[in-house]
Amino acid sequence: MEILPDSRPHYLLPHLLELPKLGAPDIGYITVVELEKDLPFAVVRTFWTYFTPESIVRGRHAHYRTEQVLVALAGRIIVTTERADGTLETFRLESPHVGLYIPPNVWHTMQYSHTAVQLVLASTSYDEQDYIRDYDRFQAIWHTPAR
């Protein structure tokens, strides 16, 4: 039996993750991520983006296999996701202890404040073949036809 992408359990859909935050306003904070405890996958690759002009929209792709967690270490990031069933969601990241889980087969775009620093934790090594960079192709592959 084929499982339609839009019938995935909640934890396989884009959602916010509250990461552990320790500290207080008078001494500052630390966030520690324990891979098997706090993330839904093992991290294989880490990268970050910074000094992105506010007029630039990044992302504009989906992955066949890669899972990601995006964290705004500084500044603000507006992330728009589109699931295979066409559901659009917008997430505002602006706390370094909150991540956004993006599963495979979800189109996503990001727009940043100029001061934003985005940390990305990914489940796979970089592989260009894992990217769906053409939106029409994404729709052709993943969108469930209207019934």
CA proximity to 102, closest of 137, 66, 78, 75? 66
Q: Name the nearest CA neighbour of 144 among 2, 6, 3.
A: 6
Cα-flanking dihedrals φ and ψ of residue 24, to 5°? -155, 160
Gap between the Cα atoms of 125 and 53, Å rounded: 27
Q: Is 61 a catalytic residue?
A: yes
Task: Name the active-site residue from 10, 15, 61, 114.
Answer: 61
**Separation of alpha carbons 141 and 92, rounded Å:** 28
User: C-alpha distances in angstroms, 72 versus 9, 47, 56, 97, 99?
Assistant: 26, 12, 16, 8, 8
Provide the annotated active-site residues: 61
